[in-house]
Structures are given as structure tokens and as C-alpha cells.
Amino acid sequence: MKDKVNKDWLNQPERGTKFMLHLIAWIAGWIGRPAGRVLLYPICVYFLMFSGAMRVHSRSYLARVIKRRPNIFDVYKHFHTFAGTILDRVFMLTGRLNLLEVEVVGAEAVIDCVNSGRGCLLLGSHLGSFEIIRALGTDVNKVPINILMYEDNASKISEVLKSINPEIAKNVINTAKPYALMIAKERIEKGEMVGMLGDRKIGTEKVVKCTFLGGQATFPQAPMVLASLVSSPMFLIFGLYKGGKRYEVHFEPFLEMVQIDKKNRQNEIQKLVQQYASRLEYYCRKEPYNWFNFYDFWGGD
């Protein structure tokens, strides 16, 4: 049962076709964002009608975060928020942030770190838009933001996004490849930023149990392991979608330097991951329809 739960999101097939994804990208790119937004309504209705598993997992999460029984309109809003952030990736990847209203909170420490020539870790989640962080870094500081991500389960979306902006492939570190963490370490030591998501386990990756939204859930150890390998700060980042064309990006200093005692390694890692999970919970409650892990995150407890 445990192995089945761990592989739940990995085994979910990609929905939609490359043609449809290209069509949305083309409409967004050539006709404009308003036309792309119109397309979201039938797309979300389709998912609402034909994706029973996603509905179940959406309801399970929403019941925890909004503390009432979610109705069909809550689930639709959850899907629509997700679709809106996917659509806006087109504009972020093509340098058209001017079409969006972005409020940035707490970025001073990150900017100071980058300006001093130090690399750093940016730890995000499947909450809101992680892509907007990369777009902001490229647009403002001209400093590469490398992304540690599992591309294999979203190959169609990745292929379309790379066709929009082929340059993004240079800064993607696929965690399915050997030595991914060592590549990330080398780029941080060069003074670059490395971003990764900390709320989804991949394959046989080691995890710890954390209290999250009233239950026990598994979180990966990899972000804290990587932080312990490099002498660089770690910042938490949350790119919240506020509706319409509004985004609110939060940066929080998390760790100046991670030094884990080998004798108490597991307990120290668990404590750090729990701190991250607690901050993620805070932002989930702040914008409950922004979290996009559509699988059995709590393992049925």
C-alpha cells in the first residue's frame, strides 16, 4: 500500500495532447491573454467532468484547508486557478511580465546575496506559480536560476514550454538523471541560484513524516540534503496567484547555512523539513486554491 501511494502521482498519465497544448500557447502568444483566459472555462469543465481522481484529491485537500465540506464550485475554482497559472507560463517564458501585476515581498535578502556573488537555494512548492520566480530572476537580476525538476512525468508540457523558449532547457536539471544534486552543487558554487520544490517525493527518494494540514504526510529529504552539501543560504519562495492578472511573490530567509550532526542526522533533517511544511501550510491557508498536488498526498489517513 505504501509503495502504491508513493508512486501515485508518478503513475498519473498526462492529460491533453500536444496539439491542444500548442493551440493554447499559440492563442495566448498571438491573440492575447484574454482569449487564452476564455479557453480556460471549457478546459476546466472537461477536467471536472472526466477526471474523477483529480476531483477526489482536490476535495480531500480542500476539506483540510478551508475546514468545511467543499462543493463542486470549490473544486472548479481549484482547477481554474491551476489552469490560469499554466496559461501564464507562456507570458513568463517569453519575457512579457508587463502583462501581469506582480507584487514582490521580502526579496531584499536574496538580491543582496546574488549581488555579493554567492549562490543560493530557492525552495518552493506546488503552490501557485514557481515559474514566475524564474521569470523575475531573469528579468530583474539577469542571474541564471537553475531548476531541479522531474521532467519525465510532464514531457508533453515540458516539450511545449521549451518550444516557446528553448533557452529554458539550459537551466533545467532533471532529477531523474544521475548526479543531479552534484550538478546543482556546482552551479551554486559558481554563484548561480538553484530552485527546487520540496513538497513532492520522487520514486525511491528518502522522505520524512511531517504534520501538515491536520494529518501526517511525507516530504522529501533532498532539499535539506542538498543544503547540507553547499555553504550557501536557502530561501523559501511562494508565487501566489491572486486571480485575474495579479501575483504576489513572497521570499523568506530560511537557512543561512545547514550543518547537520551525523550522530543526530535524521532528527535534524526531520526538524528542518517540518519547519518548511509549517510555512507551506501557512501559505496554503492564505491562498487555499493555489496548491496543485492532485494525488493522495496523505496516503489515505
Q: How many domains does the chain have?
A: 1
Q: Are strands 234-243 and 120-124 parallel, antiparallel or unpaired?
A: parallel
In a domain, 151, yes or no: yes
Mean predicted confidence (pLDDT) in 96-121: 90
* H or E element, residue 255: strand 246-255
- Give me the helices (H) in the chain, please: 2-6, 18-26, 33-50, 52-65, 72-93, 108-115, 131-136, 155-164, 180-189, 222-229, 265-286
In a domain, 173, yes or no: yes
In a domain, 18, yes or no: yes
User: pTM higher than 0.75, yes or no?
Assistant: yes
In a domain, 261, yes or no: yes
Pair 296, 9: CB distance under 8 Å: no
In a domain, 240, yes or no: yes
In a domain, 13, yes or no: yes
| CB count in 10 Å sphere of residue 242 | 15
pLDDT tens for 201-255 read: 876 788 999 999 999 999 999 899 888 888 789 999 999 999 999 999 999 999 8
Which one, of 78, 28, 30, lies nearest residue 51 by Cα?
78
In a domain, 196, yes or no: yes
pLDDT tens for 67-107 read: 899 999 999 999 999 989 988 988 888 788 888 999 999 98
Helix (H, G, I), strand (E, B) or coil at 219: strand
In a domain, 134, yes or no: yes
Host domain of residue 106: 2-290
How far apart are the C-alpha atoms of 248 and 141, rounded to whole Å? 18
| CB count in 10 Å sphere of residue 52 | 9
CA atoms lying within 13 Å on the CB side of residue 32: 5
